Chains A and B, each alone.
Chain A
Amino acid sequence: DSGVTQTPKHLITATGQRVTLRCSPRSGDLSVYWYQQSLDQGLQFLIQYYNGEERAKGNILERFSAQQFPDLHSELNLSSLELGDSALYFCASSARGDTETQYFGPGTRLLVL
């Protein structure tokens, strides 16, 4: 158990819908990262927050957005969902948001039908 929690574990929805994925970092960690893992793409970095502020952005679609709240939990919002958005979404956390070990949560498996 890494100490990072994610909800829900599974999500099934339809195309065009919007969903919110939630992540709570390890106690004491200030930085949260979101990654997407699909079969053909491997693990892809989406976005990073540090202490409530966006720090780095990857190839995150405009339909996707995220935020980190004052209590340091983070939410990833996915809208206008497409079939290709079906994937495992992982959240990871680290202490300082720098080059250091990231600890991954159990992931949310999203299936868009």
Chain B
Amino acid sequence: GQNIDQPTEMTATEGAIVQINCTYQTSGFNGLFWYQQHAGEAPTFLSYNVLDGLEEKGRFSSFLSRSKGYSYLLLKELQMKDSASYLCAVTSFYNQGGKLIFGQGTELSVKP
């Protein structure tokens, strides 16, 4: 089976840095995705990790430790528009195709 845990809510201040954690348990782990979703809108792709380490992409970075079943998304220089839900999703090579198993999402509120 597959199990993904993320904090339900986080609050941070504009201009600050926030780290959103995701822990997972999945057989045949084959990659972890982070998506951003504003209320009522489509999830949009942020990052993909399949090897251990840090992937940096502008203000957003994502880290993966496969041995610990752990990932985090780091958002720097927070802006008000970063207020959204952040979804962690995993894939498994035991799953035919590329279906994503999503966590419940972390609702981030950025305050001025």
Asked if A102 is an interface residue, CB under 8 A from chain B, the answer is: yes
Given A42-B103, A42-B105: A99 in contact with B43 (beta carbons within 8 A):
no
How many residues in A have their beta carbons less than 8 Å from beta carbons of B? 30
Total number of residue pairs linking A and B with CB closer than 8 Å: 70
| Chain B residue at minimum C-beta to C-beta distance from A105 | B42
A99-B30, A99-B93, A101-B33 known; A45-B99 Cβ under 8 A: yes
A14 interface hit (Cβ, 8 Å): no
- Chain A residues within 8 Å of B103, by CB: 42
Q: A103–B45 Cα gap in the complex (Å)?
A: 7
Interface of B, secondary structure class, is loop
Contact across chains for A42 and B102 when beta carbons are under 8 A apart: yes
CB distance from A109 to the nearest CB of B (A): 8
B86-106 Cβ-contact flags toward A at 8 Å (1 or 0): 010101010111111111110
Q: Which of B16-73 contact A (CB under 8 A)?
A: 30-31, 33, 35, 40-45, 48, 50
B interface footprint on A7-49 (CB within 8 Å = 1, 0 otherwise): 0000000000000000000000001010100000011110010
Partner of A90, one of B31, B42, B97, B105: B42
Residues of A whose CB lies within 8 Å of any CB of B are 2, 4, 31, 33, 35, 42-45, 48, 50, 55-56, 58, 88, 90, 94, 96-107, 109
